[in-house]
Amino acid sequence: MSIDTSQAVIQLTSAVADRKSTTPLTNEWSDLNVETSYDIQAQVVKARLDQGSVIVGAKLGLTSVAKQQQMNVTEPAYGWLTSDMRIDPGQAVDTSRFIQPRVEPEIAFVLKNDLEGAHIGAADVIAATEFVAPAVEVIDSRYAGYKFTLPDVVADNSSSAGFVLGGGGIDPKGVDLRLIGCAFYVNGELVATAAGAALLGHPASCVSWLVRKLAARGEGLRAGQVILAGAMTEAKAVTPGSSVVAAFDRLGTIEFGCI
């Protein structure tokens, strides 16, 4: 048995709606390729837009060795962030909205200019950035136990589910973003430490990778969008009662509890 694009979209959107995990698409669609997966992703995102959300940004996934090893995938991926995924800083994270939420510390770029083209580099990203801010992403794979291959996770909008963007933020010019340190605590325990260089060598390189990747599909990033550069550390599971603190050098701290 094999499945097609529209069945894959129904499988993934139903998992979100029912808060019930599903099986990887590649179980039945063994030759599913990444390009087709981005087509499925576009339809999965459109389903959220049809429900009234708007696109507010994009996220990179699997840009650090820590994450690639945790997920057993060796290439980055991207997904789209929609307005319904925003969680205000200071608000408790309601885990009942998700299937199997995990949290991860990230560096966010908020753009002041559009960014598109096949030749964009990290310096162009810095020039187009209004500010860089601390963030925590709440991911939620729609696949049971986060077991997936690259085409599976791409189709699943790279596990996008929620994100907390911290206030403040700094102008990235004159700051070496490779050296932004992060101490990540879950339930009061220091679970990981990392620096910006963990993200493809430089956080801005993640965003330029994304822009070049989007150019191949005739797409780009827009002024005002929030771009998450990817988790600097392994992701950690959260349940009701969990507390999360991501403290970043220069950027500030994000802190919340889960219900």
| Identified binder of ligand OOG from the candidate list 107, 230, 245, 258, rule CB under 6 A | 230
Residue whose CB is nearest to ligand OOG in the complex, by number: 61
DSSP string, 190-225: EEEEEEGGGBTTSHHHHHHHHHHHHHTTT--B-TT-
Contact region for ligand OOG (CB under 6 A) — 88-96, 135-143, 236-244, 247-255?
A: 135-143
Site map for Mg ion, 1-40, x if CB under 5 A?
----------------------------------------
Is 231 a binding residue for Mg ion by CB under 5 A? The answer is yes
Kindly state the number of chain residues that form the binding site for ligand OOG, as judged by CB under 6 A: 16
159 binds, among ligand OOG, Mg ion, none (CB under 5 to 8 A by kind): ligand OOG
d(CA 218, CA 135) in angstroms, rounded, equals 28
Is 137 a binding residue for Mg ion by CB under 5 A? The answer is yes
Using alpha carbons, list the distances in angstroms from residue 161 to 9, 58, 193, 205, 252.
16, 12, 23, 23, 23
Location of structure tokens 């945790």: 70
Residues 6+ apart with CB under 8 A from 98: 19, 138, 140, 161, 162
Is 150 a binding residue for ligand OOG by CB under 6 A? The answer is no
Is 104 a binding residue for ligand OOG by CB under 6 A? The answer is yes
Is 137 a binding residue for ligand OOG by CB under 6 A? The answer is yes
CB of 203 to Mg ion, least distance (A): 12
Closest CA to 244 of 233, 234, 258: 258
CB of 71 to ligand OOG, least distance (A): 5
Evaluate whether 60 touches 210 at the Cβ level (below 8 Å).
yes
| Identified binder of ligand OOG from the candidate list 71, 115, 210, 247, rule CB under 6 A | 71
d(CA 120, CA 71) in angstroms, rounded, equals 28
67 binds, among Mg ion, ligand OOG, none (CB under 5 to 8 A by kind): ligand OOG
With b meaning 16 or more CB within 10 Å and e meaning fewer, what string describes 30-63? Answer: eebeeebbbebbbbbbeebeeeebeebbbbbbbb
CB of 238 to ligand OOG, least distance (A): 14
Contact residues for ligand OOG, defined by CB under 6 A: 59, 61-62, 67, 71, 104, 137, 139, 141, 146, 153, 158-159, 230-231, 235
